[in-house]
């Protein structure tokens, strides 16, 4: 299987601390890959490096075989890499339809048009409404995002990433902070993602991880401890030690 | 509601001939404030040096007229706008990075440099005394400026209206929406593929051009330009004008200009020398009372830019 | 040339005393106080009144100027500034600009718009030669006094409990509060002290910089430059920045008078681009 996303010796230093220390990952196209690890292991830092929010101190990042290590955040999105944020990063004053519409029009290359009215491009509006429909947000699509309940905001967060029609999707704890009752929606959405989209999931919820992932990477203190099939990881003594050890201290 | 605003403005052209001089000032001040709204209200860029573009526009227009380079005012106006836009483009990369404080410093620095340049070439700019002997030609070769300011006002109003329409088009477009997104959450903006820096450079350049046109209007309606067009007071007062009217809905600059001019006029009549004191007090009061509260009752009367 | 260097150092040290209060205020409360120069102006005019009109000895007047400015600072801080701490930078800028305008117009009203000169004691007038370098007595006095102040400030910062509380609060106000440090009290005291220093600087600087009601506006840029170039996390940063700017400005004005002012503004912009956190700030910020 071709490799959709790859890192080679990825490193990130803050002052004297190596938050990410030589991480080499290979994620196959269409994979359902999970990245797990104790708090502070560096998982979100890895996502930030992959998307370009942080620039790597060393190492390379390859998307569909092409080097994107030095690319700006928005260019990586154009190349097919999208993400969601652990803490909702939304445009609170805009409505869901405006938000998704932005992503869609940007993807279609018409995001910078200054002479037509927002909403006059039928293709954009249709697709945006469609996406919101799929995420059960159609009924609130004209509301101010900041007024929506957290669960709906979280769904919008994912919808927004999907609107970029990514080939590789990075989900940073999609179920975080979502009430139990609404978790099912999130899980169902994640499970229903198109098969050709490569998904890298960061999660603490182990049920979600093991039901979703075909492959799991374990990150500890900025380095990869283990990379393998779910049952391999579940059985591994070191992984247990890292998690149990954490529980013992807690 | 918007139609009412412009209907009243047009009516003032015919019904208030005695006020045309001050209305002219309100017109170009409104345009100047509109240009600041574009970057501050829509893109979230704080500037303490917007007068840099205003001043450049003013001098280009004045010099074009004085030395006969461009005798026709509308052409000179366009030239001023382009010159200011170029300066805006050149300095736009300075405001892309850094915190609000950095942007304050940098924009202030640019305006100070412009003022200093003008100060250092008094042969060209007339130095502190200003440019003397500027004669403005008739608009489109036909309409002579008159001392009562009738032609001047009509001219300013026409320019303001045209540029306002353009700005209105832009802020209601996908481009305008992306600006609002970038202002709200630049991280998310770039994460959905919006080239944040490119958008900011574009709006900063446009706003600079608008400010330059406003400066040119000042120069053309008063046939004068001096170093004072670059002054810090001008940039600071501009902030107040926009705040008085409210950010982010385009009419704020115009309404603010109205309020500010009447305020200034009234204060100047009270204390001719020390009205700056009371303007300062207004600044302080507005902040203490809360900008949002002050602007909200105005905004409820006028339509907010809606999305779809 | 050494004389110019000497003058530059005097100017720089004066600038430091004037600006260090602003630096700490910004670093401590993230508050942009554009009105800082108004306190300097207050100190200058108070000294003027004391020395020229009331015959108070110069050195005593300096001390009084410090105290008076500190008091004014404390008063304004408690009554006005305290309402705008959590606000956006735009609000803070508007607020302090308003205060400057009021201060400038108010001073114009009470003292007139012309430039004023404080009578300097004869012991500080004139110059003398040392190894062929012309040393102005007044400038030497400034260097000595400001030097002593700098050392005292550094000692307070490093060796006293208040100093360590201040450093902790600047470093991370939330954590400092969590440790039981009354950050607001620290800030109020520091603000007052910084205003006092500004007032002293204004009094000292009247001779060098010229004193008139537009002082806060004229020199606002310089203070801001010191703060942005020097950073706000240390005291050595602004100190070195002030010296750099003082020397650069004097050299610029002397050797390339047409471009003197540009040098400073351009240096500032370039530095802000290259290192937005300031030239001497700690790298981790």
- Which residues on chain C are in Cβ contact (under 8 Å) with B284? 80, 95, 98-99, 102
Tell me, yes or no, whether B269 lies in a domain.
no
More confident residue, A211 or C278: A211
Interface with A, mutate which of C283, C284, C285 (most A CBs under 10 A): C284
* Average pLDDT of the segment spanning B120-135: 81
Q: Which residues of A touch chain C, with CB atoms under 8 Å apart? A: 14-15
Phi and psi torsions of B22, nearest 5°: -70, -30
* Interface touch A113/B175, C-beta < 8 Å: yes
Q: In chain C, how long is the greatest CA-to-CA distance?
A: 58
The neighbour count for residue B274, using CB atoms within 10 Å, is: 18
Q: What is the mean pLDDT of residues C215-238?
A: 82
pLDDT band at B146 (very low <50, low <70, confident <90, very high): confident
Is residue B145 pLDDT above 60, yes or no? yes
pLDDT at residue C280 greater than cutoff 60: no
pLDDT class for B301, splitting at 50, 70, 90? low
* Phi, psi dihedrals of residue A4, rounded to the nearest 5°: -85, -45
pLDDT band at C70 (very low <50, low <70, confident <90, very high): very high
- Nearest to residue B176, comparing CAs of B41, B46, B9, B64? B41
C283/A14 Cβ within 8 A: no
- What's the domain range around B191? 2-230
Q: Which of residues 24-53 of A touch B (CB under 8 A)?
A: 51, 53
- The answer to whether B109 contacts C273, with C-beta atoms less than 8 Å apart, is no
The mean pLDDT of C176-203, rounded to a whole number, is: 87
**Is residue C76 classed as helix, strand or coil in its secondary structure?**
helix
The per-residue pLDDT for B306 is 41
Chain A residues with CB under 8 Å of C285 CB are none
Question: Is the CB of B173 less than 8 angstroms away from the CB of A118?
Answer: yes
CA angle B54, B56, B61 (to 5 degrees): 100
Instruction: Using a CB–CB cutoff of 8 Å, tell me whether B66 touches chain A.
Output: no
CA A41 to chain B, closest CA, distance in angstroms equals 23
Q: Which residue of A has its CA nearest to C282?
A: A15
- Determine whether the interchain pair A106/B178 forms a contact, defined as Cβ–Cβ distance below 8 Å: yes
Chain A residues in contact with C277 by the CB 8 A cut-off are: none
Which tokens go with A51? 């998307």
CB C211 within 8 A of CB C122: no
Q: Which residues pair with A228 in a beta bridge?
A: A216
pLDDT of residue B210: 97
- The beta-carbon neighbor of A93 closest among B172, B184, B196 is B184
DSSP string, B202-232: HHHHHHHHHHHHHHHHHHHHHT-B-GGGG-H
Structure tokens belonging to residue C161: 């409990």
In this structure, what DSSP letter does residue A22 have?
E
Q: Per-residue pLDDT tens for B185-196?
A: 999 999 999 999
CB count in 10 Å sphere of residue A235: 11
pLDDT of residue C285 exceeding 50, the answer is no
What integer is the mean pLDDT of B262-283?
A: 87
The residues, any chain, with a CB within 8 Å of residue B140's CB and separated by 6 or more, are B72, B74
pLDDT-derived band of residue C283, with 50, 70 and 90 as boundaries?
A: very low
Residue B249 in any domain: the answer is no
What would the pLDDT profile of B29-62 be if each residue is shown by its tens digit? 999 999 999 999 998 899 999 999 999 999 999 9
Residue of B46, B283, B291 with shortest CB distance to C89 = B46
Q: Which residue of C has its CA nearest to A16?
A: C284
pLDDT of residue B293: 60
Residue with tokens 């990063």, as numbered in its chain = A89
Q: Is the pLDDT of residue B308 over 50?
A: no
Q: Which residues of chain A have pLDDT under 50?
A: 248-250
CA atoms of C167 and C181, how far apart (whole Å): 11
B183 assigned to some structural domain: yes
Which residues of B47-156 form beta strands (DSSP E)?
Answer: none
- Pick B112's closest partner by Cβ from C95, C221, C276: C221
Instruction: State the complex-level ipTM.
Output: 0.88
Q: Where are the domains of chain C?
A: 9-213
Among A106, A115, A116, the residue with its CB nearest the CB of B194 is A106
- Whose tokens are 């196959």? That residue is A28
Measured between beta carbons, the chain C residues lying within 8 angstroms of A14 are: 284
User: Which residues on A lie below 8 Å from C284 (Cβ)?
Assistant: 14-15
Mean pLDDT of the region C120-145: 81
pLDDT in tens, B172-182: 999 999 999 99
The whole-chain average pLDDT of chain B stands at: 87
Q: Tell which residue, A143, A199, A216, has the closest CA to residue A5.
A: A199
Please tell me the distance in Å from C211's CA to the nearest CA on chain A: 45
Tokens for C18, please give them.
């004037």
Largest CA distance in chain A: 62
Query: Which chains contact C through at least 3 pairs of Cβ atoms less than 8 Å apart?
Result: A, B
Looking at chain B, which residue has its C-alpha nearest residue C97? B280
Contacts of C282 in chain A (CB under 8 A): none
The answer to whether residue B85 is domain-embedded is yes
Model confidence at B299: pLDDT above 80: no
Beta bridge partners of A9: none
Residues of B in contact with C228 (CB under 8 A): 101-102, 105
CB C143 within 8 A of CB C9: yes
CB C26 within 8 Å of CB C33: yes
Of B65-69, B188-192, B245-249, the range with the highest mean pLDDT is: B188-192
> Distances from the Cα of C60 to the Cαs of A82, C46, C56, C63, C121, in angstroms?
68, 12, 7, 5, 12
Yes or no, beta carbons of C98 and B281 under 8 Å apart: yes
Touching subunits of A (3+ CB pairs, under 8 Å) are B, C
Residue B241 counted as domain residue = no
Among residues B188, B214, B242, the alpha carbon closest in space to that of B45 is found at B242
Burial classification of residue B304, based on how many CB atoms lie within 10 Å of its CB (0-12 exposed, 13-18 middle, 19 or more buried)? exposed
Separation between Cα atoms, residue C114 and residue B28, nearest integer Å: 33
With H, G, I as helix, E, B as strand and everything else as coil, classify residue B200: helix
Q: Round to whole Å and give the CA distance between B189 and B175.
A: 12
Q: Which of A160-164, B155-159, B189-193, C249-253 has the lowest mean pLDDT?
A: C249-253
pTM: 0.87
pLDDT at B271: 82
Higher model confidence: residue C92 or residue B135? Answer: C92
Contacting residues of C for B236, CB less than 8 Å apart: 97, 101
Among candidate residues C261, C222, C258, the one with its CA nearest the CA of residue C238: C222
Q: How far is C111 from chain B (nearest CA, A)?
A: 13
How close, in Å, is residue C32 to chain A by CA atoms? 27
User: What is the tally of structural domains in chain B?
Assistant: 1
What pLDDT, on the 0 to 100 scale, is given for residue B298? Answer: 53
Q: Is B102 on the interface with A (CB under 8 A)?
A: no
CA distance C94 to chain B (A): 6
For an interface test with B, the pick among C83, C105, C215, C266 (most B C-beta atoms closer than 10 Å) comes out as C105
């Amino acid at each position: 299987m071709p490799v959709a996303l790859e890192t080679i010796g990825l490193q990130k230093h803050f002052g004297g601390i190596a938050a990410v220390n030589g991480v080499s990952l290979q994620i196959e196209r269409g994979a359902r890959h999970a990245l797990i690890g104790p708090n502070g292991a560096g998982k979100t830092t890895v996502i930030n490096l992959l998307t370009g929010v942080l620039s790597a101190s060393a190492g390379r990042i390859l998307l569909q075989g092409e080097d994107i290590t030095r690319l700006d955040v928005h260019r990586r999105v154009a190349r097919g890499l999208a993400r969601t944020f652990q803490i909702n990063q939304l445009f609170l004053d805009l409505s869901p339809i405006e938000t998704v519409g932005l992503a869609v029009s940007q993807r279609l290359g018409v995001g910078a048009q200054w002479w037509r009215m927002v909403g006059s491009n039928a293709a954009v509006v249709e697709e945006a409404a469609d996406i919101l429909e799929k995420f059960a947000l159609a009924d609130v699509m004209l509301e101010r995002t900041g007024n929506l309940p957290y669960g709906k905001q979280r769904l919008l967060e994912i919808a927004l990433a999907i609107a970029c029609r990514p080939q590789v999707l990075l989900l940073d704890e999609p179920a975080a902070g979502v009430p139990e009752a609404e978790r099912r929606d999130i899980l169902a959405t994640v499970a229903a993602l198109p098969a050709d989209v490569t998904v890298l999931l960061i999660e603490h919820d182990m049920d979600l991880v093991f039901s979703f992932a075909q492959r799991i990477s374990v990150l500890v203190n900025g380095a990869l401890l283990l990379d393998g099939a779910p049952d391999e990881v579940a059985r591994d003594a070191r992984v247990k030690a890292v998690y149990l050890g954490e529980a013992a201290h807690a | 509601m918007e139609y009412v605003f412009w209907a009243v403005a047009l009516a003032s052209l015919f019904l208030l001939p005695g006020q045309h001089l001050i209305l002219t000032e309100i017109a170009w001040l409104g345009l100047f404030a509109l240009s600041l709204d574009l970057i501050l209200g829509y893109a979230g860029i704080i500037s303490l040096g917007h007068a840099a573009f205003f001043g450049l526009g003013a001098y280009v227009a004045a010099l074009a007229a004085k030395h006969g380079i461009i005798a026709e005012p509308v052409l000179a106006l366009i030239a001023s706008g382009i010159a200011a836009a170029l300066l805006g483009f050149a300095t736009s990369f300075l405001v892309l990075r850094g915190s609000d404080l950095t942007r304050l410093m940098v924009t202030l620095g640019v305006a100070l440099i412009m003022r200093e340049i003008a100060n250092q070439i008094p042969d060209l700019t007339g130095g502190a005394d200003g440019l003397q002997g500027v004669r403005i030609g008739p608009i489109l070769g036909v309409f002579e400026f008159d001392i009562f300011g009738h032609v001047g006002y009509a001219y300013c109003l026409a320019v303001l209206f045209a540029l306002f329409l353009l700005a209105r088009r832009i802020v209601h477009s996908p481009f305008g929406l992306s600006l609002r997104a970038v202002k709200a959450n630049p991280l998310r903006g770039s994460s959905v593929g919006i080239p944040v820096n490119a958008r900011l450079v574009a709006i900063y350049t446009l706003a600079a051009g608008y400010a330059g046109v406003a400066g040119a209007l000042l120069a053309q309606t008063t046939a004068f330009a001096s170093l004072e067009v670059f002054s810090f007071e001008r940039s600071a007062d501009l902030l107040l004008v926009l705040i008085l009217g409210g950010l982010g809905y385009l009419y704020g600059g115009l309404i603010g200009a109205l309020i500010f001019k009447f305020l200034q006029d009234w204060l100047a009549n009270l204390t001719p020398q020390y009205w700056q004191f009371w303007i300062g007090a207004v600044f302080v009061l507005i902040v203490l009372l809360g900008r949002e509260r002050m602007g909200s009752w105005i905004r409820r009367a006028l339509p907010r830019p809606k999305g779809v | 040339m050494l004389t110019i260097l000497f003058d530059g150092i005097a100017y720089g040290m004066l600038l430091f005393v004037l600006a260090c209060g602003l630096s700490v205020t910004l670093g401590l409360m993230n508050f942009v106080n554009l009105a800082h120069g108004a306190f300097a102006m207050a100190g200058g005019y108070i000294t003027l009144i004391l020395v020229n009109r009331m015959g108070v000895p110069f050195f005593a007047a300096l001390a009084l100027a410090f105290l008076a400015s500190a008091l004014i600072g404390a008063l304004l801080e408690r009554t006005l500034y305290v309402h705008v701490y959590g606000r956006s930078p735009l609000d803070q800028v508007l607020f302090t600009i308003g205060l400057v305008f009021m201060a400038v117009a108010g001073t114009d009203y009470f003292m007139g718009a012309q430039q004023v000169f404080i009578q300097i004691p004869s012991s500080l007038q004139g110059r003398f030669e040392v190894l062929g370098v012309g040393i102005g007595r007044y400038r030497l006095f400034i260097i000595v006094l400001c030097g002593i102040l700098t050392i005292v400030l550094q000692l307070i910062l490093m060796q006293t409990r208040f100093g360590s509380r201040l450093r902790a609060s600047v470093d991370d106000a939330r954590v400092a509060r969590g440790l039981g440090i009354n950050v607001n009290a620290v800030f109020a005291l520091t603000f007052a002290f910084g205003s006092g220093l500004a007032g002293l600087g204004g009094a000292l600087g009247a001779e060098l910089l010229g004193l008139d009601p537009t002082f806060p506006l004229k020199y606002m840029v310089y203070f801001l430059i010191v703060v942005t170039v020097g950073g706000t996390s240390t005291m050595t940063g602004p100190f070195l920045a002030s010296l750099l700017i003082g020397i650069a400005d004097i050299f610029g004005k002397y050797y390339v008078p047409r471009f003197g002012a540009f040098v400073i503004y351009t240096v500032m912009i370039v530095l802000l681009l290259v290192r937005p956190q300031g030239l001497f700030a700690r790298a981790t910020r």
